[in-house]
Amino acid sequence: MKIATYNVNGVNGRLPVLLRWLKETSPDVACLQELKAPQENFPEQAILDAGYKAIWHGQKSWNGVAILAKDREITEVCRALPGDPEDEHSRYIEALVDGITIGCLYLPNGNPAPGPKFDYKLGWFERLKIHAAGLLAADKPVVLTGDYNVMPTELDVYKPERWVNDALFRPETREAFKTLVQQGWTDAIRKIYPTEVIYTFFDYFRDAYGRNAGLRIDHFLLSPHLEKRLLAAGVNRDVRGWEKTSDHAPVWIELKDDE
């Protein structure tokens, strides 16, 4: 089973690219972030026509997450990260697909840091850790994937020294990601490629893609059950070079079928 994640940066503006990517790479499950569309403006029919069922949590202007599945049922578990009823951002949706719990997340950017946006990011991280610990304790196959807005190590940044004070790379942010992983999760890309430079995001300007001036901020965290089933992982880097494309590239994993 192939599972992919893609920060589309506007699901309607990106629809031709999204449909082409689905057709060319044919993931069984696709987690989308940054829909930037209210609930009623999600392009459900076009996605159904492409062969995918979908659940989504939209929001006017910003955020928004979705889970798509081809030829499979999607059973929604929740559409908010527990722990703060005041949080109105659409940044988390969770579903069961083929017995796998799939958490699709869009972690806050957090800039400028320090400040209230950075506090919100760290608070969101703390809630994610609590939720993730509960998922591990349930001892089931789980994937937590999406745009984490974190470069975990210097290997994941084209010029680390320029990012040390940025909310995506500050010590507090890296520490939060590290302690999350240390609960018992596996970073799928790093399991397959421990030392390679791999990026999932390239700024739109100054030809960041052409210069390979990127960041690795979209991640797959796997529970122990799924770590054993991991066959392959990668980035659809060429998608970032398409016309009218997102500033993120899709990331994917391939899992062995359950016995």
Partner DNA sequence: ATGCCGTGGAAACCACGA
Residues placed in the known binding site? 7, 34, 147, 149, 247-248
Nearer to DNA, 28 or 34 (CB): 34
Does 249 engage in binding with DNA (CB under 7 A)? no
Query: Beta strands of 73-120 (E only): which ranges?
Result: 75-78, 92-97, 100-106
Query: Is the four-CA dihedral 2, 8, 12, 16 of positive or negative sign?
Result: negative
Which of helix, strand or coil describes residue 94?
A: strand
Nearer to DNA, 68 or 105 (CB): 105
Annotated binding site for Mg(2+): 7, 34, 147, 149, 247-248
Pick the binder of DNA from 38, 51, 82, 160 (CB under 7 A). 38
Does 123 engage in binding with DNA (CB under 7 A)? no
Annotated catalytic residue, options 92, 106, 148, 199? 106
Determine the Cα–Cα distance for residues 23 and 52; give it in Å rounded to an integer. 11
Stretch that binds DNA, among 73-81, 106-114, 133-141, 226-234 (CB under 7 A): 106-114
Annotated catalytic residue, options 57, 131, 219, 248? 248
Pick the binder of DNA from 182, 205, 257, 259 (CB under 7 A). 205
The yes-or-no answer on residue 248 being catalytic is: yes
Question: Which ranges of 86-214 would DSSP assign to H, the alpha helix?
Answer: 116-137, 171-181, 188-192
Determine the Cα–Cα distance for residues 93 and 105; give it in Å rounded to an integer. 7
Cβ atoms of 184 and 252 within 8 Å: the answer is: no
Cβ atoms of 7 and 34 within 8 Å: the answer is: yes
Nearer to DNA, 30 or 167 (CB): 167
Instruction: List CB contacts of 240: < 8 A, sequence separation 6 or more.
Output: 202, 209, 246, 247, 248, 249
Q: Please, what is the minimum distance in Å from the beta carbon of residue 159 to DNA?
A: 9
The yes-or-no answer on residue 204 being catalytic is: no
Does 162 engage in binding with DNA (CB under 7 A)? yes
Instruction: State residue 50 phi and psi, 5-degree precision.
Output: -80, -5
The yes-or-no answer on residue 106 being catalytic is: yes
Nearer to DNA, 41 or 186 (CB): 41
Q: Which residues carry out catalysis?
A: 106, 147, 248
